[in-house]
Structure 1
C-alpha cells in the first residue's frame, strides 16, 4: 500500500495525480466519491480531478460526493513553518547536562552509565580515637 503523496489516477492510461477516492456500496447501489484516502485500498479507485468531475454511475445507482472541493492542496503556511522549526531544532547542537557538583567532603569512586557512586569523606574526628 502506498501513501497518498505518490498515488496516481486508477483510470487506464491516466498518469495524473489522484485527489479523490471512489468506493462502491453495492447493497445500496451507491458510488461514494470522497477525499483521497490515506492509504490505497484494494477495492477503491483513486481518481484525478478530471476523472472525479466526469464520474458517472450505472443506471439506478446514486453518486454521493463527500467533498465539495476536490482540488489538490499543497502544504499550508503553518505546515511549512512547523517543518522549518523542526529542522532548526534538530540541527541545534545538544549541550550536555552539567554534572551535578559534589558536596564538599565527597568524591566520586565509581560510575555505571548515568549513576555515580560517591564516598563521603568525613572530616570529623573519629569518636573512638578521641576517647
Structure 2
C-alpha cells in the first residue's frame, strides 16, 4: 500500500507510505498498482522508501477511532429558527418555521 500525491506546479508524482490524513490530490494505491505506476510524459515520479510488512497500529490510531465512533454516536439537535412576531405578521397562516419549512394553520372552511 502506498499514497500517491501530485504536485502539478513541479510536474511531479510522489509515491510514498500511506498518508495519515486526506489531502487534495492524494490517492491510496494497492501494492500492485503502486509498483506499476507511470506518470505522463514530462513528469517525474519520486518513489519514497516504503517499510515492508504490515503496517503497525499505534495507540493514537485506536484513540482516533474511538473518538470518531463517539462523535458519530452523539445526537445532534435539529436547528430551529425562532418564529418572530414580524414573521407571523407577514403571513397570518404561519404558525412556526424550521429552516425552509413552514407550519401553517388549517384554513377555515
Give TM-score scaled by structure 2 length.
Answer: 0.46
Of Structure 1 and Structure 2, the greater helix share is in: 2
